[in-house]
Each structure stands twice: as structure tokens, then as C-alpha cells.
Amino acid sequence: MTQTITRNQVIEKIGNTPLIELSSFSTDSIKLFAKLEWHNPFGSVKDRAAFWMIKDAESKGRITKDKSIIIEPTSGNTGIALTGISSSLGYKVEIVIPEKVSAETKSILKKLGAIIHETSDDLCPRVGSGTDQSIALAKAISTPRPDIYYMPNQYENDANYMAHYDTTGPELWYQTNGKITHFLTGCGTGGTITGTGVYLKEKNPSIKVVAIQAQRNHLLQGLRNFEESSMPDLFKRRESVVDEWFTATNKDSFTMVKELANKENILVGPSSGSVMSAMLDTRNKIKKGIIVGIFADDGRKFKSLYKEQNVFTAEEYDKALHNAKYLSELLY
Ligand SMILES: Cc1ncc(COP(=O)(O)O)c(C=O)c1O
């Protein structure tokens, strides 16, 4: 697919993802909705940021087709998005990734044509702690060869924020007819929460923005714990948009992954389980509202993790996959 897709087809398929009601968790006065980001062409919320960062680099003349190599440290989804989008646009990609990232993620990256460098980092590359092997390695490879390498650096690049300010925020405002009262998302770089949160608050300052971080020493690919790893600059610039923090545990997140499969027939990635547990916490604290959570990716990259963590047996996983509604066939 990536070989034949044209630039316009990639652009058209990014964003405008479905918003579905989670009816079995809604009440008469509180409605819960999930934005299914795996409907982006390369399977996650990160397509938005990756495409905006590439467009930004092109507009600034930082990259040249058939010559530049884009290199980025990532815990998976940004790598998949950058590789898929870049190779369809004529750029090569190298990804620096923690070895703990799921085998399925690495195999998708290889299939899409990325060269992979593995480090023994935590699941999410640490920022600014001196142990950020992935970020340090990406910089070490790219800095001496600025004529060839370009590192978008999602942890600092404002195009990551702008992607969500320009797309995710307006989509949610439109899809809820301006009725959204609470916006929740997991945080990695902070691009999703700041871009979407700032846009929504400009529309209605009383909308509450809830940020979800992972517990320490977590298994929630894409999320970060901000005590273990300091807050990326991109997030710090607009941290004030956050009204409330929620720390998701591995256990609660995996429990919600299973509940979402059983009650809603959707097969989500671990971080959507985290978002779901935060949405229920919000639901239990309010009397009335429209709560919207970002479901960043689906569960198809996590069969081995779910088996290892006893979330699903192989049979249960296959059943959940078979029954899963709203899967997208674009990446698989
Ligand atoms: C798998 C995954 N990737 C990325 C993100 C969001 O990341 P960022 O803060 O970098 O926009 C999330 C947030 O929920 C996520 O779950």
C-alpha cells in the first residue's frame, strides 16, 4: 500500500476519525465517547503529528525527496507514522526504538521499510534525564550529517502541537456539536493534549482537560510517567491547559482493555485502557456532561503483550479480534 499511495491520498486519509459512543458506560445524564485514532492510515493518533512535522520540514526546506533520511526516537507509533508517510512521499526513515517495544510494532516498522536502531531504554524514551539513549543515539547519528539526516524531534517540535490544534480539536468540537464538557487523553510528548486542549478551550473555556500519565515502570506503550522522565519542552510550553492529572496503572488499564472488548466489542491498545479508566473516574465525579477520550491505537500490536500479562489468552484474544467492531484495514 505504501508504495502506491499518492501524497494526496495520504493527506486525505489523515484525521477525520470516528467518534463513537461507549453506550454501556454512559448514563442518562453523562455520555462517554471515544475518538478512534486507529482509523488514521498508519494506525494511530501519531499520523497527525508525523504528517505535520514532515510538512513543516518541507516548507522550511529542511528535507529533500530521494536524498533526506528522517530519523526519530520513538516508542512506536510515531515511527510507524513517520515511516509510512515518509516512504510514500520519497524520504527514507531510521527509527531509534527501545527494545521493550512490542514485537508486532517492530515488525510493522520493518515491513514499512524503516531501518531500526534498538536501545535498552525504558518503554518511552526518557527526556532530559541523562539516560535517554534513544534520543541521544538519534542525535548522535544525525548531528554530524545535517546534509542527509533530519530529526523532527516530536518532543520539541511545535508542528506536533499544531497538528492537533488544526485537526483533532476542530474535529471534536464539530463531532460533539460544541457540547463536549471533558477532554481526556494519554500523554507522551504532550502534542495531543496541548493542541486539542488549547483549541477546545478557545471555543469554550469551561471545557475541562484531563491529562493521563502512566504509573512508574509501566507497560503502556505511548504513555509516559512524568516523575520517571521529565516533561518534554513541547508539553511544558502549554502545560497550563491541563486542569487535572490522572495516573493510570498497568492493572487498571489492562482491566479496561478487557472490559472494552467484552462490553463494547472494541479491541484497543493499552493506553486506551488507561484513558477509559480515567473517563470512568471523571464520570464518577460529575453529574452531567459529555466526556470524550482519545483511543490512540487498536489492540492488534499487542497480542503478545496481552498474552504475557494475562489480559487475554490466545483464544480470548482471537475471539476479541473476531468480534471487534470499527477496525480499520488500512495498515493491516
Ligand atoms: C499509543 C499512544 N501514542 C501516543 C499518544 C499521545 O501522545 P502525545 O502526547 O505524544 O501526543 C498516546 C496517548 O494516549 C498513546 O496512547
Ligand 1-lining residues (CB < 6 angstroms): 44-46, 77, 185-192, 221-223, 269, 271, 294, 296-297
Three cell numbers, residue 241: 491547559
More confident residue, 71 or 3: 71
pLDDT, tens only, 234-273 = 999 999 999 999 999 999 999 999 999 999 999 999 999 9
**pLDDT at residue 3 is higher than 60:** no
Q: Share the mean pLDDT of the chain.
A: 92
- Are the folds of 7-39+164-323 and 46-150 the same? yes
CATH 2.60.120.380 for domain 7-39+164-323? no
Q: Which of 20, 5, 7, 9 is nearest to 272 (CA)?
A: 20
pTM of the model: 0.94
pLDDT, tens only, 135-144 = 889 999 999 9
The residues spanned by each domain of the chain are 7-39+164-323, 46-150
Q: Which of 266, 268, 263 is nearest to 325 (CA)?
A: 266
53 touches 86 (CB < 8 A): no
Mutation test of ligand 1: which of 52, 160, 187 has the most ligand atoms closer than 8 Å to its C-beta? 187
CATH topology of domain 46-150: Rossmann fold (3.40.50)
Question: Can you list the alpha helix ranges (DSSP code H) found in the chain?
Answer: 7-13, 46-59, 77-89, 103-112, 133-142, 158-163, 169-175, 191-203, 233-236, 250-264, 270-285, 303-308, 314-323
